Structure 1
Amino acid sequence: MTVRAGREFLALPGPTTIPDEVLRAMHRPALDIYSKPMVDLTEGLLRDLSKLFATKGKSYIYIANGHGAWEAVLSNVLSRGDKVLVLESGSFAVGWGNAARAMGAKVEVLRGDWTRAVRASEVEALLRADKDHTIKAILVTQVDTASGVVNDIEKIGKTIRAAGHPALYMVDAVASLGCMPFEMDKWGIDVAMSGSQKGLMTPPGLGFVAVSERASAVHQAANMRTPYWDWTERDGIEHYRRYAGTPPVHLLFALRQAVDMLFDEGLENVFGRHQLLAEAVRRAVAVWSERHVLSFNIREDSERSNVVTTVLMGSGYDPMRLHHYCNDKCGVVLGIGISNLQGRAFRIAHMGHVNAPMILGALGVVEIGLKAIGIPHGKGGIEAAIAHLGERVRP
């Protein structure tokens, strides 16, 4: 017997739930790709992407996922043999660094603990020791969806400037853009990248890159440049060069609708919604953890992200049993533990097109699953989440 009839809920960190309005926006014929409406669509999206990144710099749209956007960033500002510094706090900055190595860069990793954020003091010490400025770029994620950590991007940027180091500061905002504050210019970020399938509520397939003037200047001498990713090629007069060929018209229709929805809600309200729902999840997990089988992967509450919570499962219990139960019996798809946490954790996403009933429903299903499978947990997690929202969401 199951109770999963009805709409399946994706509680995994990407792709996230796509709003009905976004799905409907794609259900129309393609545009003439040489027409003024097509040009206007592109130019409007590029302007609004720069607004989301909070930069006066240019933005670019790629027909690619986040891994493609990684390559776009690297190939446009690096030359073969350049050294990059990777700030580890989970899986994805390291993955970005691996891409750089495969493309011909030298890579140094500032090893991190998957239970905490990057320590700015460690970054500063390493940069001050690099007296010859051999490091050309620094790679970090704002949120790592494997570990569930959020890094203090503003503080790291201040540290880089305090060290007087000229390396480009490059940030992966795939899991954070449109969910939490991101201030590219204010925080001294040189290049930022993101993707369509998380906070931007659009199907996978679009990658975004935002570029400062300093990065644009470095770009001129970079020798990793290839035709598809090249910013100079995409700055050409002909509109089709914005996409290195045929535009992804229907994904652009979807993105236009999704961005409009974010602006209509108001970014501060969007950020506040994510914070409230994330804290509701954390209140539930804290109660479940009272039996010492479940626990937060990220130790410090202030370093737990507002977009995904990674929950460790110990004492020999298998998180995949919970994953299968929630999906097969109840229609809630949790995130699995990945990379170093494979087989040790599950993840609850709370990003993008989410509201209180969706999050409370997901938490309720997790609590049902814990009871049904017999995984020891503190009782009353869902009540704690409800109490939090009842206190904070006032009439």
Structure 2
Amino acid sequence: MTSGRHFLQIPGPTNVPDRVLNAISFPTIDHRGPEFARLGREVIDGLKSVVRTEADAVIYPASGTGAWEAALVNTLSPGDRVLMFETGHFGTLWARLARDVGLDVTFVPGDWRSGVDPAVVEEHLRADVGHTIKAVAVVHNETSTGVTSRIPQIRAAMDRAQHPALLLVDTISSLGSAEYAHDAWGVDVTVGCSQKGLMLPPGLSFNAISAKAREAAESAQLRRAYWDWEPIIAANAGGFFPYTPPTNLLYGLREAVAMLHEEGLDNVFARHQRHAEATRRAVEAWDLEVLCRVPEEHSPVLTAVLMPDGHSADAFRNVVLDAFDMSLGAGLTKLSDRVFRIGHLGDLNDLTLLGTLGGVEAGLRMAGVPHKPGGTSVAIEYLADTAPRTA
């Protein structure tokens, strides 16, 4: 039996706040009655306020993988060409799913240390004079690497190329944690899920859908049934769903959205940026290397840290778990045993982050990982000097 709380510092699922846990425990109600209709409209409108869209949005009882598939099968036809990018583990998985549903994927290789290059997007689209590319699919925040792609610049590159392809964006680990604006950024389909910045357990996934994407769905020929947007949008008009909805998770979503707005979305994003900066300063002071190579692509959601040559990231994580009851994120596929990931998203404050960094620093010492001491002190100085002042 370990005393104290477990530190869950993986980049999702994140810690679920008490307010959300309490909301999830509410009694289940009739999902065809008037009380549910009010809940249904509240959560759909609340989700749209976080995605920052006036367009349609749908909620699925599913993981983020389901919302990936929904974005593709609603807008595309068998053999359609999709431009996708090897930004990391999840960009690779989305491309694999696209192939599995019958799409022709042009997969741009990457180094897993940088995001999507807008110039490369423009180059591919300008070369596609016949407009055979029907969609550009981008992971906004690559959870495996701690790299955030620059969606507004990608949209601008598409516009410069005067190409009609749809823009599909995965916000699975960025929604509610990093600045994002579906409408203002010209996104056609946003993909999201519940267990990251929205501070919920796994189980909900989302699509936000532009008018252009909905129009594309009218002629799209990939087979869809459960993922079909139209029955959901039709039922949502009255606050209902065309299937049995996960009522208790929707209670939680309503509470999570309320918490985000009470803090203010801009304040939420600033908090995440500040915690990310504190973490990177600690890593630099330890004389370790942040995986992300491009400063303007540093993730506000997590920091992936490269281990020194000859040292095992997994062995280090096991030391931290055993000694301090703290979970850090593992390296995935190409990065297996080479990196550990510090999640700093969701329901997180300065003291939680400092406890996390203190556990990392102590773990480095205990595991015999070469480093310079004092990274946590550097983070303390930064957080103390930048602490928001209340009136």
What are the superposed Cα offsets for residues 24-73 of structure 1, whole Å, 9 maximum, x if unpaired? 11112101111111011111111121121111110000000100110111
After alignment, is 155-164 or 298-307 more displaced?
298-307
1:353: which partner in 2? 347
Match of 1:66 among 57, 64, 67: 64
Go from structure 1 to structure 2 and tell me whether the alpha carbon gap of 1:157 and 1:238 turns closer, same or farther (over 3 Å shift). Answer: closer
Q: Deviations over 1:228-254 (max 9, x none)?
A: 110112133488995431110111111
- The percentage of aligned residue pairs carrying the same residue is 42
Instruction: State the alpha-carbon separation in 2 of the partners of residues 272 and 144 from structure 1.
Output: 19
Residue 342 (str. 1) matches residue 336 (str. 2): yes
Q: Measure, in 2, the Cα distance between the counterparts of 1:253 and 1:388.
A: 37
Query: 2: distance between equivalents of 1:191 and 1:310?
Result: 27
8 A Cα contact 1:138 1:169, kept in partner = yes
Q: Is 2:175 the counterpart of 1:181?
A: no
Native 8 Å contact 2:56 2:233 kept in 1: no
Write the distance in 2 (CA, Å) between the matches of 1:51 and 1:36.
23
Structure 2 CA distance for aligned equivalents of residues 341 and 205 of structure 1 = 27
**Which residue of structure 1 lines up, in the alignment, with residue 365 of structure 2?**
371
Q: What does 1:276-291 align with in structure 2 at a 5 Å threshold? A: 276-289=274-287
CA deviations on 1:191-213 (whole Å, 9 max, x unpaired) are 10100000000110000100000
Aligned residues: 389
Question: Offset of 1:300 from its aligned partner?
Answer: 2.5
**Paired position in structure 2 for 1:201:** 199
Q: 1:125 aligns with which of 109, 123, 147?
A: 123
TM-fit CA distance, 1:314: 2.4
**2:226 is matched by which residue type in structure 1?**
Y
| Aligned residues of 1:39 and 1:239 also touching (Cα < 8 A) | no
Q: Is the 8 A contact 1:149 1:303 kept in 2?
A: yes
Please state how far the C-alpha of 1:115 moved relative to its aligned partner.
1.3
The equivalent of 2:230 in structure 1 is 232
3-state SS of paired residue (2:199): coil
State TM-score, norm by structure 1: 0.96
- In the alignment, residue 277 of structure 2 is paired with which amino acid? E
Q: What corresponds to 2:26 in structure 1? A: 28
What CA distance in whole angstroms lies between the structure 1 residues aligned with 2:180 and 2:360?
A: 31
Residue 274 in structure 1 maps to residue 261 in structure 2:
no
Q: 2:165 matched to which residue of 1?
A: 167
What secondary structure sits across from 1:77 in the alignment? Answer: coil
One-letter amino acid of the structure 1 residue matched with residue 312 of structure 2: D
- How far apart, CA to CA, are the structure 1 residues paired with 2:215 and 2:97? 23
Distance 2:356 2:28 in 1: 36
Could you tell me the TM-score, scaled by structure 2's length?
Answer: 0.97
Distance 1:173 1:40 in 2: 27
- TM-superposed CA distance for 1:94, in Å, is 2.1
Determine helix, strand or coil for the equivalent of 2:341: strand
Are positions 1:296 and 2:290 aligned together?
Answer: yes
> What is the Cα deviation at residue 394 of structure 1?
5.0
Q: Distance in 2 between matches of 1:240 and 1:51?
A: 19
- AA of the residue aligned to 1:247: P
Structure 2 residue 305 is matched with structure 1 residue 311 = yes
Deviations for 1:113-161, whole angstroms, at most 9, x for unmatched residues? 2111211111111110010010001110110010110111000000001
| Matched-pair contact (CA < 8 Å) for 2:46–2:254 | no
Q: Determine if contact 1:240/1:247 at 8 Å carries over to the other structure.
A: no
Separation of aligned partners in 2, 1:93 and 1:325: 30
Gaps of 5+ in 1: none
Which ranges of structure 2 fall in alignment gaps of 5 or more residues?
none
CA distance in 1, matches of 2:370, 2:93: 35
Supply the RMSD in Å over aligned alpha carbons: 1.5
SS at match of 1:352: coil
Which of residues 91, 97, 100 in structure 1 aligns to 2:98? 100
CA distance in structure 2 between the aligned counterparts of 1:274 and 1:237, rounded to whole angstroms: 36
Instruction: Tell me the equivalent position of 1:116.
Output: 114
